[in-house]
Copies of this chain bind each other. A is one copy, B any other.
């Protein structure tokens, strides 16, 4: 009897609602074809050292459709091509990609599904160049991948952010306060823009539109002058005052701004109080945006992506990333898919509509 076709699946990068739904769809679609699926633990770490990998069976995926997180574990570290090891007590970067290829072979895999963001997909592309038959599934709560119209995780993150704005709304209104909410999104303003409009924010500050604190304060004052008596400001972690200077260092560090360094939200709330005299409070929503049950939309998209990844393997289309081009799911070559980020076009319909409603972008 011929060996069953066997595929591997791994998740890389930051946690994202819908990862488990993709894994489930990969497994169910594979089972439906009579294939076997090996779950690789903690992203590429588990490919380089496959000792922790194990076959995924029916009961492993029972009930995970609605669960946040990933049953395979994930990590932001462990790039096989630039692996950090200690040598003589000092960290040295070495290329361990051959170990990843070896791991793939050792597990007896016919193909590999890599679910992850731009970083993970870049590694997938390089592994494919080394001959690994690979299919990528895009993941990002930030909606910053240009090759897919949208992917799972974003709708959940926006919903969580909107829910937070809703919760702060009543307190802002009751206490006649300014509430500043700092949201995720890295270099892109998608989460902030969408949740800001959906949550009825008065000011929306995103990296794509450098803002002026004076303009923000004008809007705040305008709200009190017209007896609205409170103001909701949402600000993306990557937003910056026009002229800049202030956050240069954070911008360089590639990481998220740490609360204790004083994120943009805390800073802005203080500036508003200083300049307007209005009582202001800030909140950094942080990791809540990565967690929780995926929304219906994210579960649906994740499921479609998982099925499409197996379809690509069945059709021997390797080196591609599945992508949503509504109403279709298509296969995009990995080299075209990676490294192209998507920021909010400043003339997008969302921004146009928001400005027509009177929302300020601080510009």
Contacts and interface: CB of A to CB of B under 8 A. Distances in A.
Given A260-B260, A358-B28, A300 B350 contact: yes
A354 to B, nearest CB: 8
A149 interface: yes
Contacts of A199: 65, 296, 299
Interface string A67-78: 111100111100
Interface stretch (A79-87, A97-105, A235-243, A284-292): A284-292
A311 B303 CA distance: 37
Tell me the number of copies of this protein: 4
A296 B162 contact: yes
A277 interface: no
Contact of A283 (B286, B300, B327): B286
A353 B21 CA distance: 13
Interface string A332-363: 00000000000001001110111011100000
For the residues of A in contact with B, the DSSP-based class is helix
B307 A356 contact: yes
B353 A329 contact: yes
Select the residue from A159, A266, A288 with max chain B CB neighbours within 10 A.
A288
Nearest to A226: B58
A153 to B, nearest CB: 12
Given A75-B175, A326-B149, A349-B327, A168 B291 contact: yes
* In the A-B complex, the 8 residue pairs with the closest CB atoms: A69-B170, A167-B291, A68-B170, A307-B353, A69-B174, A198-B299, A15-B171, A167-B292
